[in-house]
Amino acid sequence: MSECEKIRQFIATRDRLGRHLGVELLEVREGGARARMPVGEIHLNGVNLAHGAAIFALADVAFAAAANSHGTVAVAINVSISFLKAATGGVLYAEARELSRNPKLGTYTVEVTDEAGELVAIFQGLVYRKKERWEEMVSGEPMR
């Protein structure tokens, strides 16, 4: 099994919020990732639009997978999201890609699109890259 597939499985099983929201991590590649989330009633806000927090969570799962795809633990230190279009249902997709990386920091962008391929949100994130390998964190205890 490839390193990226191991990371995909690790995040898919260990990210409890992502699982609860129905986020499916479709692909992890070095410096990138794709995820999807069907929008259901649980994801809607008071005016029946996809809740910003649900969209953020989808983008964050893809961001985490891309940032950790090099094998070392990467944790977010700054993120922002801009919502460009309302989503009312269907399936949303998140595509994360690495913009830059050095031994300590990594910068990523995530585009969230709807089923028609229209841009719903743009997420940007900065991670701190720890020295520990993510495999060292697999002990049955939650990552800290």
Q: Is residue 140 part of a domain?
A: no
pLDDT of residue 144: 42
Strand partners, 113: 93, 119
Residue 93: domain span = 3-134
Question: Using CB atoms within 10 A of its CB, is residue 33 exposed (0-12), middle (13-18) or buried (19+)?
Answer: buried
User: What is the count of structural domains for the chain?
Assistant: 1
Q: Is residue 144 part of a domain?
A: no
Over residues 25-62, the pLDDT tens digits come to 999 999 999 999 999 999 999 999 999 999 999 999 99
Over residues 74-116, the pLDDT tens digits come to 999 999 999 999 999 999 999 999 999 999 999 999 999 999 9
Q: Is residue 46 part of a domain?
A: yes
> Which is higher by pLDDT, 117 or 4?
117
Q: Is residue 95 part of a domain?
A: yes
14 pLDDT band, cuts 50/70/90, is: confident
For residue 122, what is the domain's CATH number?
3.10.129.10
Q: Is residue 142 part of a domain?
A: no
Question: What is the rounded average pLDDT of the residues 60-80?
Answer: 95
Q: Is residue 139 part of a domain?
A: no
Question: What is the rounded average pLDDT of the residues 19-29?
Answer: 95
Q: Is residue 97 part of a domain?
A: yes
Q: Is residue 86 part of a domain?
A: yes
